[in-house]
Amino acid sequence: MDLRFVRIGFLIISAILGSQLVGQAVGWPFALRLLVGAAAGAILILIEAAIHRVGRVSIRGFSAAVFGLLFGLIMAKLVSDAVALIPLDLGTVATVRVALTWAFCYLGMVMALRGRDEFSVIIPYVRLVRHDRGEELRLVDTSAIIDGRLLDLCQTLFIEGRLIIPRFVLKELQAVAD
């Protein structure tokens, strides 16, 4: 599904929720209430779009989005329970709960997708390898080769990427060996 469709759907639902919320609290005309709800949704979308542009979907991104959705649901539940303590009629409380749930879920997903590179910190024993970066290169000097522990480090996969040994280092090693 394209991100534009998600944003349009969010905008439509925000307009409907805004019309219900503002209508019960203020009593404005229906068109103005729709406009207020759509404006609130548009502000959230603009904030999200300004912060990060979502690329192609990956396992890391999907996992982060699910985690963000769950985090948003938990936060919405906590905040909406606090709002329920305010003496309002049931219709207003229900509308506020739905609006809070919608906003927190959206923001939780956006924040989790923005920080998906650090997602392995959240799930400590799962390491998701990033494939969209170029290959990492490591420059090796003469002392590291003479030391002899470089092979052991490479075999334990402590050093990732390709090792590069410059020609002058090879000539220096050859001079030491002669």
Res 70 pLDDT > 60: yes
Greater confidence, 51 or 112? 112
Name the residue with higher pLDDT: 101 or 24. 101
Do the beta carbons of residue 164 and residue 140 sit within 8 Å? yes
pLDDT digits (tens, 9 = 90+) for 103-140: 998 888 888 877 766 655 555 555 555 555 567 788 88
Tokens of 117: 């590179």
The answer to whether 67 touches 122, Cβ cutoff 8 Å, is yes
Using DSSP's 3-state secondary structure scheme, residue 139 falls into strand
**Helix 90-114 and helix 30-51, axial crossing angle in degrees, nearest 10:** 20
pTM of structure:
0.41
Residue 75: pLDDT band (50, 70, 90) is very high
One-letter amino acid at 135 equals E
pLDDT above 90 (res 74):
yes
Determine the Cα–Cα distance for residues 62 and 43; give it in Å rounded to an integer. Answer: 24
Q: What is the CA radius of gyration of the chain?
A: 27
Alpha helices in 26-89 (DSSP H): 30-51, 59-84
pLDDT at 18 over 90: no
Band (78; pLDDT cuts 50, 70, 90): very high
